A and B are shown apart, each in its own frame.
Chain A
């Protein structure tokens, strides 16, 4: 069943070229009120897409419509929060400087919320300047500063990567709280290449490879579109024909099978499982969607 949804951002004919890379997105909608994961290998174009969406990269062709009808940058920018994969604050600043200066840039910046989130992420007693912080601390600072604003669309580039397991869990809680708070109007888009940590906070998944979207859908729908098949090595030759992201070892072989292809497995001694989002990702990243 295909679900219909409202979009927080609608991209149309987006093209962006570098010397060795082209991002090409004929049509892409980011669902409103949900948390969307952007999944792909390094170099797939995730960061380029996120920077285009935030407005940081405006040298592209094509059209983006935000919040159902808005295109003017100055109307959009206040409603979007962004955390980069690398620190974007002045490296000599300390937390108190961020709290001091951010209200001048963003009307809705709330220092109390900023310190509340710093407290929740064990950052409250951090005295050093940003340049002396670890990558994890820099990420937590960006997350706290972004969530201290009133926004409706959160764009996060690899937010989980520099965080330890406890903080990844906390990040998921913060994302869910943000979605909850909006009651259907707040949306999140984050990129990741390690989806297993974020699986329980992902509603919609967009898979990218070589600058293109190769698969997308609500997670629960994808889990009904693909099956995880495991079989004996003796079947490898036949299975290889139509399994996606096929792998084999001397003891077994496995891959993803489209639900429509399930008939082709008739008579074979294989196990059929519902894949996790991580297993779907690995299959698609290895073999490309069909």
Chain B
């Protein structure tokens, strides 16, 4: 896990994102426990409260559940939710692309053409 100390993204967010990716990609499986809060803080050389906040963030997203006295375990990821997550990610990126297109004065038709070309390329 790479943690950037001087990035604009808060450290807790960086940790949450990293675990989020591992969970959504299936690297961390259902029922598996995340590292202990104080253990991860020690290994990543960050404060306990930052790690705690990252785990709370994951809990808010419904990715993990806290079990008193045992830690946080990975929830079952239903495929519908997984799809939803990826869909949202796709929309975010498209939004960015649209902003760039607008700045560059690219017409909607040109934009759609470009997307079609990119899809062809992927095949």
Contact = CB atoms under 8 A, between A and B. Distances in A.
Interface of A: 33-35, 172-173, 176-177, 179-180, 182-184, 199-204, 218-220, 223, 274
Interface of B: 5, 10, 12, 36, 38-39, 41-42, 45-50, 52-53
Given A35-B48, A202-B47, A203-B48, A176 B41 contact: yes
Contacts of B53: 220
Given A34-B49, A203-B47, A179 B42 contact: yes
Contacts of A180: 36, 38-39, 41-42
Given A180-B39, A183-B36, A223 B47 contact: no
Contacts of B41: 176, 179-180
The secondary-structure label for the interface of chain A is helix
B10 A203 contact: no
25 contacts: A33-B38, A33-B48, A172-B45, A176-B41, A176-B42, A176-B45, A177-B42, A179-B41, A179-B42, A180-B36, A180-B38, A183-B38, A199-B47, A200-B5, A200-B47, A202-B47, A203-B48, A203-B49, A219-B47, A219-B49, A220-B12, A220-B49, A220-B52, A223-B10, A274-B10
A75 to B, nearest CB: 26
Contacts of A184: 38
B36 A173 contact: no
> 4 closest A-B pairs (Cβ-Cβ)?
A203-B49, A176-B42, A180-B42, A180-B38
Contacts of B36: 180, 183
A173 B10 CA distance: 21
Nearest to A198: B47
A199 to B, nearest CB: 8
Contacts of B39: 180
A197 to B, nearest CB: 13
B93 to A, nearest CB: 24
Contacts of B12: 220
Query: What is the predominant secondary structure among interface residues of chain B facing chain A?
Result: helix
A33 B46 CA distance: 15
Interface centre among B36, B47, B50 (most CB of A within 10 A): B47
A202 B41 CA distance: 11
Contacts of A274: 10
B58 to A, nearest CB: 15
A102 B105 CA distance: 77
Contacts of A204: 49
Nearest to A172: B45
A33 B52 CA distance: 12
A163 B94 CA distance: 51
A179 to B, nearest CB: 6
Contacts of B48: 33-35, 179, 203
Contacts of B10: 223, 274
B36 to A, nearest CB: 7
A120 B59 CA distance: 38
